[in-house]
A and B are shown apart, each in its own frame.
Chain A
Amino acid sequence: MAIARPALAAPVVRRRVLHRDRLIAVFMLLPSIIAIAVFVYGFIAYTAYVSMSNYTTARIDLSFVGLDHYVRLFGERRFQENIRNLVVFTLMFLAVCLVFGLVLALMVDARVKGESLFRSIYLFPMAISFIVTGVAWRWLFTPGDLEPTGINLLLERIGLGFLKARWITDTSVWPNLEVPGLKVRLMVPLAIVPVVIAAVWQMSGFAMAMFLAGLRSIPEEIKEAARVDGCSEWQLLRYIVLPMLRPVTLSAIVVLTHVSLKTFDLIMTMTGGGPGNKTELPSLYMYELRFSQFNTAQAAAVAMILLILVSLLTVPYLLYNRRAQSVEQ
Chain B
Amino acid sequence: MKSERKLTRRQALKLFGAGAASAALAACAAPAAQPGGQPAQQPQQPEQPAQQPKRRLEIFSWWTNGGEADGLNAMYEVFLQKNPGVEIINATVAGGAGTNAKAVLQTRLAGGQPPDSWQVHAGRETLSYVNAGQVEPLTEFFTEKGFDKVMPQFLLDQLKINGEIWTVPVNIHRSNVLWYNPKVLEEAGIEPKFPTLDSLFAALEKLKAQGKVIPIAVGGKDKFEASHTFESILLAVFGVEDYIKLWDGTDTMWNDPRAAEALGQLKRLFSYANSDRAAQGWADAMTMVLEGKAAMTIMGDWAHGLGISKGAKVNQDYGWMPAPGSDAFMWLSDSFCLAKGAPNPNEARAWLEVCGSREGQDAFNPKKGSIPARTDPDLSKYDDYLKAAIADFASKPLVPSAAHGASTTNAYQAKFHNTLEVFSSDLDEKSALESLKEAVADNNR
Binding site for B on A (CB under 8 A): 25, 28-29, 31-33, 35-36, 39-40, 56-60, 77-78, 138, 141-147, 166-169, 171, 191, 271-272, 274-278, 288, 290-295, 329
In the complex, the answer to whether A146 meets B293 with C-beta atoms within 8 Å is yes
Chain B interface main SS type:
helix
- Contact A39 to B293, CB < 8 A, known contacts A58-B109, A274-B421, A293-B410: no
CB contacts (< 8 Å) of B293 on chain A: these are 146-147
Pick the contact of B17: A32, A191, A294 (CB < 8 A): A32
- Contact A294 to B214, CB < 8 A, known contacts A36-B17, A169-B276, A276-B426: no
CA distance A138 to B220 in the complex (A): 13
CA distance A255 to B276 in the complex (A): 34
Binding site for A on B (CB under 8 A): 2, 5, 14, 17-18, 20-22, 24-25, 28, 99, 102-103, 106, 109-110, 128-129, 131-134, 213-214, 220-223, 274-280, 293, 410-411, 413-415, 418, 421-426, 431, 442, 445
CB contacts (< 8 Å) of B280 on chain A: these are 142
CB contacts (< 8 Å) of B103 on chain A: these are 290-291
In the complex, the answer to whether B220 meets A28 with C-beta atoms within 8 Å is no
CB contacts (< 8 Å) of B421 on chain A: these are 274-277
Pick the contact of A144: B133, B213, B276, B425 (CB < 8 A): B276
Nearest 10 interchain pairs by C-beta: A32-B21, A276-B425, A275-B278, A58-B132, A275-B425, A276-B422, A59-B132, A292-B414, A291-B103, A145-B274
Since A59-B132, A274-B421, A292-B413 are in contact, a sample of 18 more A-B pairs with Cβ atoms closer than 8 Å, ordered by chain A residue number, is A29-B17, A31-B21, A32-B18, A32-B21, A35-B24, A39-B28, A57-B132, A138-B279, A142-B280, A145-B275, A147-B293, A169-B276, A272-B223, A276-B424, A278-B425, A292-B411, A295-B411, A329-B5
CB contacts (< 8 Å) of B5 on chain A: these are 329
CB contacts (< 8 Å) of B424 on chain A: these are 275-276
Pick the contact of A294: B106, B275, B422 (CB < 8 A): B106
In the complex, the answer to whether B275 meets A166 with C-beta atoms within 8 Å is yes
In the complex, the answer to whether B128 meets A294 with C-beta atoms within 8 Å is yes
In the complex, the answer to whether A145 meets B24 with C-beta atoms within 8 Å is no
CA distance A191 to B220 in the complex (A): 15
In the complex, the answer to whether B425 meets A171 with C-beta atoms within 8 Å is yes
In the complex, the answer to whether A169 meets B17 with C-beta atoms within 8 Å is no
CA distance A168 to B277 in the complex (A): 10
CB distance from B434 to the nearest CB of A (A): 10
In the complex, the answer to whether A277 meets B422 with C-beta atoms within 8 Å is yes
28 contacts between A and B (CB under 8 A): A25-B14, A32-B24, A36-B21, A58-B106, A58-B134, A77-B431, A78-B418, A141-B279, A143-B275, A143-B279, A145-B214, A145-B275, A145-B276, A166-B275, A167-B279, A169-B277, A272-B221, A272-B223, A274-B221, A275-B421, A276-B421, A276-B425, A288-B418, A291-B99, A292-B99, A292-B411, A294-B410, A329-B2
CA distance A29 to B11 in the complex (A): 11
CA distance A146 to B103 in the complex (A): 38
CB contacts (< 8 Å) of A168 on chain B: these are 278-279
CA distance A173 to B132 in the complex (A): 41
CB contacts (< 8 Å) of A271 on chain B: these are 278-279
CB distance from A195 to the nearest CB of B (A): 12
CA distance A293 to B128 in the complex (A): 10
CB distance from A65 to the nearest CB of B (A): 15
Of all chain B residues, the one with the shortest Cβ separation from A138 is: B279
CA distance A25 to B24 in the complex (A): 19
CB contacts (< 8 Å) of B221 on chain A: these are 272, 274
CA distance A276 to B28 in the complex (A): 36
CB contacts (< 8 Å) of B20 on chain A: these are 32, 36
In the complex, the answer to whether A57 meets B279 with C-beta atoms within 8 Å is no
Of all chain A residues, the one with the shortest Cβ separation from B426 is: A276
CA distance A25 to B15 in the complex (A): 10
In the complex, the answer to whether A169 meets B279 with C-beta atoms within 8 Å is yes
- Contact A275 to B411, CB < 8 A, known contacts A33-B17, A143-B279: no
CB contacts (< 8 Å) of A147 on chain B: these are 293
- Contact A40 to B24, CB < 8 A, known contacts A171-B426, A272-B221, A292-B413: yes
CB distance from B108 to the nearest CB of A (A): 12
CB contacts (< 8 Å) of B24 on chain A: these are 32, 35-36, 39-40
Between A28, A29, A288, A293, the greatest number of chain B beta carbons within 10 A of the residue's beta carbon is seen for A293
Between A35, A57, A276, the greatest number of chain B beta carbons within 10 A of the residue's beta carbon is seen for A276
CB contacts (< 8 Å) of A272 on chain B: these are 221-223
In the complex, the answer to whether A56 meets B445 with C-beta atoms within 8 Å is yes
CB contacts (< 8 Å) of A25 on chain B: these are 14
CB contacts (< 8 Å) of B214 on chain A: these are 145-146
CB contacts (< 8 Å) of A77 on chain B: these are 431
CA distance A36 to B415 in the complex (A): 36
- Contact A59 to B17, CB < 8 A, known contacts A32-B22, A171-B425, A275-B425: no
In the complex, the answer to whether A146 meets B99 with C-beta atoms within 8 Å is no
CB distance from A267 to the nearest CB of B (A): 13
CB distance from B166 to the nearest CB of A (A): 13
CB distance from B161 to the nearest CB of A (A): 14
CA distance A276 to B277 in the complex (A): 11
CB contacts (< 8 Å) of B445 on chain A: these are 56-57
CB distance from B226 to the nearest CB of A (A): 10
Pick the contact of B278: A33, A146, A274, A291 (CB < 8 A): A274
In the complex, the answer to whether B422 meets A169 with C-beta atoms within 8 Å is no
CB contacts (< 8 Å) of B17 on chain A: these are 29, 32-33, 36
CB distance from B224 to the nearest CB of A (A): 11
- Contact A291 to B109, CB < 8 A, known contacts A35-B21, A275-B425: no
CB distance from B202 to the nearest CB of A (A): 21
CA distance A317 to B106 in the complex (A): 37
CA distance A294 to B20 in the complex (A): 31
CA distance A144 to B277 in the complex (A): 9
CA distance A138 to B129 in the complex (A): 36
CA distance A271 to B133 in the complex (A): 36
Between A78, A141, A168, A294, the greatest number of chain B beta carbons within 10 A of the residue's beta carbon is seen for A294
